[in-house]
């Protein structure tokens, strides 16, 4: 129902999934140019902004973002 979906933080489940990571990676790479800050393009989309933040703030994702090699994408 709409009420249940309103409070869902991840795309399909109540926990992090591969789909969430893929969406984050797309936005982080192509809109955010690899920077951890929420891309400006997501500011008008609160649910996507929350998803981006939730994935980014997962401890293992956060650790990877700090140590991953910088690329031109």
Could you tell me which residue, 19 or 72, shows the higher pLDDT?
19
CA distances from 60 to 5, 19, 37, 54, 70 (A): 26, 16, 17, 12, 18
How does pLDDT run across 6-43, given as a tens digit for each residue? Answer: 557 899 888 999 999 999 999 999 999 889 999 999 99
- pLDDT at residue 4 in the model: 47
- pLDDT at residue 36 in the model: 92
Residue 57 has pLDDT above 60, yes or no: yes
**DSSP string for 3-58:** HHHHT--SSSSSS--HHHHHHHHHIIIIISTT-SSPPGGGTT-HHHHHHHHHHHTS
Residue 46 has pLDDT above 70, yes or no: yes
């Amino acid at each position: 129902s709409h009420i249940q979906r309103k409070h869902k933080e991840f795309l399909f489940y109540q926990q992090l999934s591969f789909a969430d990571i893929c969406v984050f990676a797309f936005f982080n790479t192509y809109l955010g140019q690899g920077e951890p800050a929420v891309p400006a393009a997501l500011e008008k989309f609160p649910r996507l902004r929350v998803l981006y933040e939730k994935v980014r703030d997962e401890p293992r994702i956060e650790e990877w973002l700090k140590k991953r090699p910088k690329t031109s994408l």
